[in-house]
A and B are shown apart, each in its own frame.
Chain A
Amino acid sequence: MKLTVNGTAHDVSAPPEMPLLWVLRDLLGLTGTKFGCGIAQCGACTVQLEGAPLRSCVTPVSAAAGKRITTIEGLSKDGSHPVQRAWAELDVVQCGYCQSGQIMAAVALLAAKPAPTDADIDAALSGNICRCGTYQRIRAAIKTAANLRKGGRA
């Protein structure tokens, strides 16, 4: 099966029903995408498929074959994506485990809505659980990232 992850083509031997999450983690060694619940309840496994957010823990790898997959590792070479910069600026993370998924969900939101309201952010991010409780900073960082993008500083 041919997979394109972060611009790199891979030839993967996996059963078609194997979730993309485990292909990324166990077969390709891309461990930035996290396992949280396995039933699309927590968002830790969020990646992008053709730019749209996707729960990789319930997506069979066959559904991603031939499509453009982006993981946290592919967001930027050096952590310079506006969302990553905003996350750093506001010291969003605590334990950090859910944050790959939060960042990927935020990137997808900003692509769809460059200036999201609180309600937009709630709607887009409420599927991403953070047990440490960093929600307030996530919301603020998304607004910071929106400004970074608008200001052309991206």
Chain B
Amino acid sequence: MNLIENVSRRHFLGTTLSTGAFVLAAQVLPKSAFAQDPGVRTRAQGAALNPSVYLGIETDGKIYIITHRSEMGTGIRTTLPLVAADELDADWSFVTIEQGLGDTKYGDQNTDGSRSIRDFYDAFRRAGAAARSMLVSAAAARWKVPASEITVQNSILIHAKSNRRLAFATVVADAAKLPVPKDEDLKFKSKADLNFVGKEREIYDLRDITTGKAAFGLDTFREGMVYASIEHPPVVGGSVKSLDDKAALAVKGVRQTVTLPAPKPPLMFQSLGGVAVIADNTWAAFKGRKALKVEWNDGANASFESEAYKAQLIATVGKPQKVVRNLGNVDAEFAKGGKVIEATYSTPMLAHAAMEPPAAVAEFKDGKCEVWTSTQNPQAAQETVAAALGIYKKNVTCHVTLLGGGFGRKSKPDFAAEAAYLSKQLGKPVKVVWNREDDIKFDFYHATAAVYHKAVLGANGKPTAMLHRSAFQPIASTFAGDVEYPLPFELDLALTDAPYDVPNIRAENGPARAQVRIGWFRAVTNNFHFFALGSFMDELAHAAGRDPLEYLLDTLGPGKVLDLKAQGVEYSNYGAPYDKYPIDTRRLRRVLEVAGEKSGWAKLKSGNGKGYGIAAHRSFNTYVASVVHVEMDGRGGFRVPRIDQVVDCGVAINPDRVRSQMEGAAVMGVGLARTGEITAANGRIVQSNFDKFQVARMSDAPYQVNVHFVESGALPTGVGEPGLPPVIAALGNALYAATGKRARELPLSKMKWT
């Protein structure tokens, strides 16, 4: 096997692994978090005391903690170090946070799936506890007292009996000579002794952000760097037929053009190809690009028409499809007759539109490549760059900058591969800058979907049988080319895991072939699956003539752990072990009950142009209930005066950052439900900037978002995504309560709301 084949093969396997816990139950943690690695040294690793890849302490008492997950607004860069610092009993002002390079020694680094806390909480606790234990042992030896008599506060070791104190700095050198304690010998602090976990803490980068010093991918500068702007084929899979770059080259500051190779299927994270304009600055590159004359070979995807496609999806869910969950006998129950309710919902494609468009700087030299980029997934960036250059992954260094938003887009490092390819061609550092039009026209889109629901109501209007059926462009298509069915995980997000206490349930999924790149967007397929499910449950409540909250609680039953395996579902559970993170409907009930209390649900009376809606969903192992208020403006539109979000994420490590994620999800949920829509004609994306792809602005965002916590004491789970799905459904339910009109199609702006 030659090098290229070898790299490609590695690339495929590697990329598949790095796409997330969703796709495969990949090994999440490094083989040994305490293994020393001779590779790139961090200050943490270079420190005198270095019991873990995540943490080091210098002889001056400075503490270096690595964050290997990407910061895109959740606060994770601060939160994981807080966990380690707490177990260490560190003085937080002595802590320096280092951003980890892409490196398998840290374990998984793909910052998606709301799993950084779930998967690395223990690893960071262990890092802190191991260092603390070694420092305590060193002090015990120095003082000749039992280690059990020593306490630690703010980086000070204390022997109360003899009233002696030592700073960490004074015993670091001694501690470094001791063996690193085994995981099973580590002792963790009790909840009452925690100083940082559960307390509000400002994020590490806050002051740099408010003063303009914070460095995002687009802010990277390398000496001798040139700037590139790329004209991609307007249709995915297209290629350059002819190029006339004379006018482009005449633009002041433009140096040359480079034609990028067209990708070979499956597309994965490869560049889409096209023509790069290389210039002395970004503006010259943009201007040169406008002057390019390119003719394209469009290829087969030019036939993509999103409206006709959506109609096809709706037809697909109108017919029996592949069964992906089966409990009892739905057909027999339907055959008995009774009150049958049916509804079909549809949703459009969406673009991520993070505020920072994709950007990367690459420097290829001596067969190796260094990349600086806003990536959620530095290991995939290494793999993708390696494949694009035909070099080994170990020869690619990926520096992770701050990300100006991500929402899933920046798990896909096509832009880093472009910078690397161009740097190799040009022999100098290259910054690739996508403009907003590139970002919106060449995204890995959130799929368009159709979802059909049918139920028959029994005593008290409770359903005795439910049928759920969906069809949507599969994420799988980005990785395996010509496929028409999703990966199992795509179905496990609010299709196969509907949690209601109903004796007969069947879920089905139909085929859909994608003609654009499809990717994961914050909350992924939960967004359309749960918009439909959360709306349908509300439809059932109204059909039964019952209060929606009371109906949801009744339909959930008394609460239990669901056994989906018995119903033919190999449930992927967001990549988490089911015994530790099961679907527990008691927790779903609890967030609903608290939502009822905190929102004053019993006193909220819809009518007179006002409406209130409720929904609750477990996603990413976290439980969230939303209560949305709407107020009609009398002109066909509405405003959202208030949303209450109730979250059970087990342990809220930095409650302020949990709150901020729930607030942000409420804003994004309202925004994308109201106006979010990407369409395509002749295989070309129609929208290109914020004028046509409208996102929430201050004036139409929810005015007030209140966040409430349920402290279940369960294992800590993530909060980046779970706040989004219930908001969308609860908003539709509130609109129904206000107007009697049911939102079965998004965006809501398609309907006149009066």
Q: Using a CB–CB distance below 8 Å, which chain A residues touch chain B?
A: 15, 18-19, 22, 25-27, 29-39, 41-42, 44, 71-73, 75-76, 78-79, 84, 87-88, 91, 93-100, 103, 121-123, 125-139
B405 within 8 A of A: yes
List 8 extra interface pairs beyond A22-B283, A95-B354, CB under 8 A: A91-B660, A100-B212, A103-B210, A121-B698, A129-B690, A131-B668, A132-B355, A134-B660
Which of these binds chain A: B136-144, B170-178, B185-193, B215-223?
A: B215-223
On chain A, the residues within 8 Å of B403 by CB distance are: 95
**CA separation between A126 and B221, bound complex, in Å?**
31
Please give me the 9 A-B residue pairs with the lowest Cβ-Cβ distance, nearest first.
A32-B212, A133-B667, A97-B404, A95-B73, A72-B212, A94-B73, A96-B209, A133-B664, A31-B219
Shortest CB-to-CB span from A93 to chain B, Å, is: 5
Shortest CB-to-CB span from B609 to chain A, Å, is: 20
On chain B, the residues within 8 Å of A22 by CB distance are: 281-283
Shortest CB-to-CB span from B660 to chain A, Å, is: 6
Determine the residue in chain B with the shortest Cβ distance to A94: B73
Number of A-B contacts (CB under 8 A): 187
Say whether B699 contacts A79, CB under 8 Å: no
Determine the residue in chain B with the shortest Cβ distance to A42: B690
Residue interface mask B188-215, A partner, CB < 8 A = 1: 0000000000001011011101111111
B402 within 8 A of A: yes
Q: Which of B74, B211, B689 contacts A72 (CB 8 A)?
A: B211
Shortest CB-to-CB span from B226 to chain A, Å, is: 11
**CA separation between A129 and B668, bound complex, in Å?**
11
Say whether B73 contacts A41, CB under 8 Å: no
Q: Which of A41, A42, A71, A94 contacts B212 (CB 8 A)?
A: A71
Best-surrounded residue of A33, A72, A94, A121 (most CB of chain B within 10 A)? A94
Q: Which of B215, B252, B696 contacts A133 (CB 8 A)?
A: B696
Report the contact-size class of chain B (Cβ under 8 Å from the partner).
Answer: 35 or more
Question: Chain B: interface secondary structure?
Answer: loop
Determine the residue in chain A with the shortest Cβ distance to B406: A95
B663 within 8 A of A: yes
| CB-CB under 8 A for A39 and B72, given A32-B211, A97-B355, A133-B667 | no
**CA separation between A37 and B687, bound complex, in Å?**
13
**CA separation between A36 and B286, bound complex, in Å?**
14
Say whether A129 contacts B355, CB under 8 Å: yes
Question: Chain A: interface secondary structure?
Answer: loop
| CB-CB under 8 A for A136 and B210, given A31-B215, A41-B690, A44-B355 | no
On chain B, the residues within 8 Å of A44 by CB distance are: 355
On chain A, the residues within 8 Å of B407 by CB distance are: 131
Say whether A39 contacts B667, CB under 8 Å: no
B691 within 8 A of A: yes
Say whether A135 contacts B667, CB under 8 Å: yes
**CA separation between A126 and B203, bound complex, in Å?**
26
Best-surrounded residue of B210, B354, B663, B665 (most CB of chain A within 10 A)? B210
Say whether B74 contacts A33, CB under 8 Å: no
Say whether A95 contacts B698, CB under 8 Å: no
Q: Which of A19, A26, A34 contacts B356 (CB 8 A)?
A: A34
Shortest CB-to-CB span from B65 to chain A, Å, is: 20
On chain B, the residues within 8 Å of A73 by CB distance are: 211-213
**CA separation between A32 and B701, bound complex, in Å?**
26
On chain A, the residues within 8 Å of B221 by CB distance are: 29, 31
Determine the residue in chain A with the shortest Cβ distance to B433: A35
Say whether A41 contacts B202, CB under 8 Å: no
Say whether B667 contacts A87, CB under 8 Å: no
Chain B contacts with A in 625-684, Cβ cutoff 8 A = 656, 660-661, 663-668, 671
Q: Which of A33, A38, A88, A97 contacts B210 (CB 8 A)?
A: A88
**CA separation between A43 and B417, bound complex, in Å?**
29
Determine the residue in chain B with the shortest Cβ distance to A134: B664
Q: What are 9 A-B pairs with beta-carbon distances under 8 A?
A: A34-B355, A37-B436, A38-B436, A44-B355, A100-B209, A126-B697, A132-B660, A133-B666, A134-B664
Say whether B698 contacts A139, CB under 8 Å: yes
On chain A, the residues within 8 Å of B214 by CB distance are: 96
On chain B, the residues within 8 Å of A94 by CB distance are: 73-75, 660-661, 664
**CA separation between A29 and B663, bound complex, in Å?**
34
B703 within 8 A of A: yes
